A and B are shown apart, each in its own frame.
Chain A
Amino acid sequence: MNKLQANICLVCVTLLWSSEVIIFACIPDSVVPFATTAITNLIASALLFICFFKRIKAAFKSEKKKLLLRVLLLSVLNFGYNNLYQYGLDYFDVSTGAFTLSMTVVILPVILLMYKRNVGKRTWISAGMVLLGILSSYLGRISSINLYGFITLAAGCAIRAVFIIKLNDYSREHDPVSISALISLFVGTFSLAVWLFIQPATFAAIEWNVQIIASLFIYAYFIVAFAQTLNIFAQRRANAASATIIYSLEIVFSLIWGVTMPANLVEQVTPDVFMLIGVAFIILGNLVEIIDFSRLKAIVKGRERIG
């Protein structure tokens, strides 16, 4: 996989993550979020272990303890930021909350600096543009933003930034399929434990029907097994900062779903001018990061010479 392919894969991962809202719309509120996380992650883990058993076994043979400890760390971070997001988002309306989640793009370069790693000029420009996008979406809504909710989401974004940096490092050293299968297994197990604690009846507490089962399987295949594995493979070739900037496109896709999808599948969204400006900044930030301007410049110069 080259860098271009990695960027394409990251856009696909972001698109799949953004479709979460469509799948969640098919799961009733009576199913607690920990149940969804537990079931979908355990299904995804089983699927990956069945399909890639030999590969995972080989990865285990060579680096059992190191791999397990690292994946355990990734799983704790993943579990942590997802829960902070879940609680933080309760304080926001859907669109402002989604924009705020893009804050990871702004926090990640700062954390990279704390790790004493270089951050390119383009990344800072992109992060700045995404920040402008988030701030634009806040215009007209500032009074409704709850400080506690904001801090919770900011903490979630900081943990996610660390997760992305660590995932980026580990994906270069270990087999991505094994990492993906084990993260799903650990996150599924953590969520199952919490689910058992808050709702001891667990599986019996859910009023099962075809729609719930289908939605959980869709979520497990696409959002967990496929998107997570694709993400880890892509992270091997992309750097953490550019991956995070591409992830910020999630809000753009979510907005597209809200405008184009029928009301029975997703909550309809009517974007206001501030949201559109915010989206424009986020797209610009992505273009700055993805497009190789120096190469484009060289091509244009070459053509001028030929002309």
Chain B
Amino acid sequence: MADKKGFFYRAAVFAALTAVYLIVSVPFKVMEIIPGFTDIRPVSMLMPVYGIFFGIPGCMAYAVGNLITDIISDSLKWSSIAGFAANFIGPFCYYLFWTRLSKQSFDLRKPKNILIHTAVIAVDALIVAGIITPSVALSYPEVNSWVFFSVVLANSSLFPFFIGIPLIILMQDELDFSPIKRKNTT
């Protein structure tokens, strides 16, 4: 959707998506699991939504939103650099899969498509946790890496699955949002 529009449109989409990210993420900073490092993050449900419906501006908004949340919640650390990368790559994987790798257009109307999307969520969660955990383990050895990895993995898989899928269904089938089109379609 955002691909065919100009710079100002993309900038406006980026700003709006960053604002939505902050509105959803900031209140949850009171629900910390490892104080200063990770909390319950329902905002992860936006990861597939931003990648699939908004493409690169969505991926940037997700990463920048996460960075701003770290700053305003006083949890900016060296590992936030890896966090920024992971939070860009997270939605980008969805964008990449559904626009370049998949042979079919995105929708969640059939059980097969839901299964494929679930597999993408699982792989994406592993990638995100795999990027952030080593940087936290190296910078802050006092943090239990396995607990941290498990929490990031759970946040990045459960919320996109349990809340992200219904949100996508609502957006695509009832509120007329269109996913970014596949690149190999004519």
Q: Is the interface of A mostly helix, strand, loop or mixed?
A: helix
Choice from B26, B114, B174 contacting A1 with Cβ under 8 Å: B174
Given A8-B165, A16-B163, A262-B33, do A233 and B28 touch, yes or no (CB 8 Å)? Answer: no
A210 touches B30 (CB 8 A): yes
Interface residues of B in 1-51 (CB under 8 A from A): 23-24, 26-31, 33, 40, 42
B33 touches A12 (CB 8 A): no
Choice from B109, B166, B174 contacting A12 with Cβ under 8 Å: B166
B40 touches A5 (CB 8 A): no
B27 touches A217 (CB 8 A): yes
Give the total of A residues in contact with B, Cβ under 8 Å. 29
- Determine how close the nearest CB of chain A comes to the CB of B73; give it in whole angstroms: 10
B27 touches A215 (CB 8 A): yes
Choice from B30, B110, B163, B174 contacting A26 with Cβ under 8 Å: B30
**Residues of A contacting B162 in the complex (Cβ-Cβ under 8 angstroms):** 11-12, 15
B134-173 vs A, Cβ < 8 Å mask (1 yes, 0 no): 0000000000000000000000000000110111011001
**Residues of B contacting A213 in the complex (Cβ-Cβ under 8 angstroms):** 27
A4 touches B111 (CB 8 A): yes
- Nearest residue (CB) in A for B111 is A4
**Residues of B contacting A210 in the complex (Cβ-Cβ under 8 angstroms):** 30
Given A9-B170, A12-B166, A233-B170, do A214 and B109 touch, yes or no (CB 8 Å)? Answer: no
How many angstroms from the CA of A284 to the CA of B157 in the assembled complex? Answer: 26
Interface residues of A in 1-53 (CB under 8 A from B): 1-2, 4-5, 8-9, 11-13, 15-16, 22, 26
B31 touches A12 (CB 8 A): no
A179-211 vs B, Cβ < 8 Å mask (1 yes, 0 no): 000000000000000000000000000000011
B30 touches A8 (CB 8 A): no
Q: Which of A5, A15, A214 has the most CB of B within 10 A?
A: A5
B24 touches A221 (CB 8 A): yes
The answer, yes or no, to whether A230 is at the interface (CB within 8 Å) is: yes
How many angstroms from the CA of A262 to the CA of B154 in the assembled complex? Answer: 14
A5 touches B169 (CB 8 A): yes
The answer, yes or no, to whether B82 is at the interface (CB within 8 Å) is: no
How many angstroms from the CA of A11 to the CA of B114 in the assembled complex? Answer: 15
- Nearest residue (CB) in A for B110 is A4
The answer, yes or no, to whether A218 is at the interface (CB within 8 Å) is: yes
**Residues of A contacting B166 in the complex (Cβ-Cβ under 8 angstroms):** 8-9, 12-13, 230
A253-268 vs B, Cβ < 8 Å mask (1 yes, 0 no): 0000000001001000
**Residues of B contacting A262 in the complex (Cβ-Cβ under 8 angstroms):** 33
B31 touches A8 (CB 8 A): no
A214 touches B27 (CB 8 A): yes
How many angstroms from the CA of A211 to the CA of B26 in the assembled complex? Answer: 11
How many angstroms from the CA of A54 to the CA of B105 in the assembled complex? Answer: 30
The answer, yes or no, to whether A222 is at the interface (CB within 8 Å) is: yes
**Residues of B contacting A221 in the complex (Cβ-Cβ under 8 angstroms):** 23-24, 27
Give residues in B with beta carbon < 8 Å to A: 23-24, 26-31, 33, 40, 42, 108-111, 114, 162-163, 165-167, 169-170, 173-174
17 contacts between A and B (CB under 8 A): A1-B169, A4-B109, A4-B110, A5-B173, A8-B114, A9-B170, A12-B165, A12-B166, A13-B166, A210-B30, A213-B27, A214-B26, A214-B30, A218-B28, A221-B23, A229-B170, A265-B31
